[in-house]
Amino acid sequence: MNLRRITLKNGADLDGFRKAVRWLIAEELAPQHVVFAIDDAPGLFGDEQAGDAAPVSLPKGVARLIEQVVCHHDPERYALLYQLVWRVLNGERDLLEVASDPLVHRIDLTARSVRRDLHKMHAFVRFRRLKGDNLERFAAWFEPEHFILEAAASFFIDRFRSMDWAILTPIGSMRWDRAMLIFGPPASREDAPGEDSFEEGWRGYYESVFNPARVNPTAMRAEMPKKYWRNLPETAAIPGLIQTAAQRVERMIEQEATMPAKRTPERALEAMWDQEPKSLKELNAIIAKAGPLVPGATQAVFGEGPAHAEIVFVGEQPGDQEDLQGRPFVGPAGKLLSKAMREAGIEREQAYLTNAVKHFKFEQRGHRRIHSKPTAGEVKHYRPWLMKELELVRPKLVVALGATAVLALSGKATPITRSRGRARFGAYEGYITVHPSYLLRLPDEATKREAYEAFLNDLRRIHDLAQADLDTGELPLAAE
């Protein structure tokens, strides 16, 4: 049987190879009857032959391998791939799993070489800014080993989307103008700028991070082969660095430790450890400066009340109203809390009210800002501030309003129904009850009234607990 000659375009001719495979498989031509040639002007194998051949279905791994291997400069790449396709379609569907097979091994090495070249292109392209140009435009000259220009494009677009750049190579060029990618003809080194104002700084950086005591040029060359050096501005420093390394190390070793000049700056050292905020005002300034640790929020809402209040109430997070006014518990739930406190004999002005999370986390839905429950992780982000706040207020009793407050105070998620009542939060005597917003959400009046009574009872006990001398254990109510 005559050999069939398939001519493919120069470069990575993935389309041409796909068409050829369809046709060859349709004609049932085994690899030994086919030769692949590469020419800039393919003529012997025309579209008309492949036009109606059915697509060939290949395992995903094989298809992916083909995409990579066609980029290789090895003229045998198509023949190797066709052998692989033939065997996969003729009883060895899982051939790729046999990594020890000589053909699979060879194709794998070929693909690896392409992937490596691609990786090195991502790494070693060096953009230089075009001069005399008000717009910021960049260009780079690079010499890839294989036909990988197209394959490399998406990396540079994803990374430098807002930049205007061009990459010029001997096998073609590409330009991104912040909207579109255009491929162009091969270029030459002179087409790219010869320098960039940041290169000297970069070279200085490169020289400085080198540790002469660890000199190991072999390891460097293994990862940064010499063929890439001429297009890397920093490599000019290499010979000098290697030459002087031994000397530099000897000098370091010979040099006796010098006497320190001014070494115990006692006042600075003392001041260094004096960094903790000393007042709520200082703490709040820190919180304000940090900005929200949750999505949403226009401003931080700080705790409010006397600096050394006996009772601290901790809620979940500020709501819509609180966020706008910058004060805690001023919305509907806050009003309900005030009312209940009054009825239970607790003066709101004498208590310290704050939230576990200091910012309003919400989702914008049209004009409405919908409260969004902080996650456990988010609550924990705010926890160090809350702990500091308690440390500064030093209350007799800390009241957790709702589950989020319990999580923030104890560090653990605990259902309210099971833990309601007296509690211990680290160093603080505590009390757990529901959040007033829970009362607002209840559907019918009867349950609402009942729940409000229970809440009121909690507040009365909180009032009594705060009155009692907790340290001596003298309690007006039996502990549960």
Taking CB under 8 A as the criterion, which residues in 169-208 touch another protein?
Answer: 196-202, 204-208
426 near another protein, rule: CB under 8 A = no
* Tokens matching residue 160: 């430098």
Q: Which of residues 387-406 bind another protein (CB under 8 A)?
A: 388
Coil, helix or strand at residue 207: helix
Q: Which is nearer to another protein, 397 or 405 (CB)?
A: 405
Query: Parallel, antiparallel, or unpaired for β 311-315 and 181-184?
Result: unpaired
- Distance in angstroms (rounded) separating the CA atoms of residues 295 and 274: 32
With CB under 8 A as the contact rule, the residue among 10, 90, 216, 457 that binds another protein is 216
Rama region for 8: left / alpha / beta (φ>0; ψ in -120 to 50; rest): beta
- Cβ at position 116, least distance to another protein in Å: 12
With CB under 8 A as the contact rule, the residue among 234, 320, 429, 464 that binds another protein is 234
- Cα distance from N-terminal residue to C-terminal residue, the chain: 97
- Cβ at position 466, least distance to another protein in Å: 28
With CB under 8 A as the contact rule, the residue among 119, 131, 230, 441 that binds another protein is 119
134 near another protein, rule: CB under 8 A = no
With CB under 8 A as the contact rule, the residue among 381, 456, 460, 475 that binds another protein is 381
- Distance in angstroms (rounded) separating the CA atoms of residues 164 and 126: 14
Q: Which is nearer to another protein, 105 or 281 (CB)?
A: 105
Q: Which is nearer to another protein, 5 or 105 (CB)?
A: 105
- Cβ at position 118, least distance to another protein in Å: 11
Q: Which is nearer to another protein, 37 or 286 (CB)?
A: 286
Span from 16-24, 262-270, 331-339, 422-430 in contact with another protein (CB under 8 A): 262-270
220 near another protein, rule: CB under 8 A = yes
Q: Which is nearer to another protein, 245 or 439 (CB)?
A: 245
Q: Which is nearer to another protein, 55 or 194 (CB)?
A: 194
Q: Which is nearer to another protein, 2 or 162 (CB)?
A: 162
With CB under 8 A as the contact rule, the residue among 30, 44, 271, 370 that binds another protein is 271
155 near another protein, rule: CB under 8 A = yes
- Cβ at position 262, least distance to another protein in Å: 9
Type of residue at 16: G
- Cβ at position 123, least distance to another protein in Å: 5
- Distance in angstroms (rounded) separating the CA atoms of residues 306 and 304: 7
With CB under 8 A as the contact rule, the residue among 55, 91, 194, 260 that binds another protein is 260
Coil, helix or strand at residue 169: strand
57 near another protein, rule: CB under 8 A = no
The answer to whether 249 and 213 have CB atoms below 8 angstroms apart is: yes
- Distance in angstroms (rounded) separating the CA atoms of residues 451 and 434: 9
Q: Which is nearer to another protein, 125 or 340 (CB)?
A: 125
Type of residue at 4: R
**Which residues partner with 425 through β-bridges?**
428
Element (H, E) at 404: helix 403-410
The answer to whether 422 and 458 have CB atoms below 8 angstroms apart is: no
Give the total of residues touching another protein (CB under 8 A): 95
Q: Which of residues 78-117 bind another protein (CB under 8 A)?
A: 94, 97-102, 105
Task: Report the greatest alpha carbon distance in the chain.
Answer: 107
30 near another protein, rule: CB under 8 A = no
Coil, helix or strand at residue 364: strand
CB atoms within 10 A of CB 299: 17
- Distance in angstroms (rounded) separating the CA atoms of residues 478 and 145: 83
- Output the CA–CA distances (angstroms, integers) from residue 307 to 225, 322, 351, 470, in the order listed: 66, 20, 9, 20
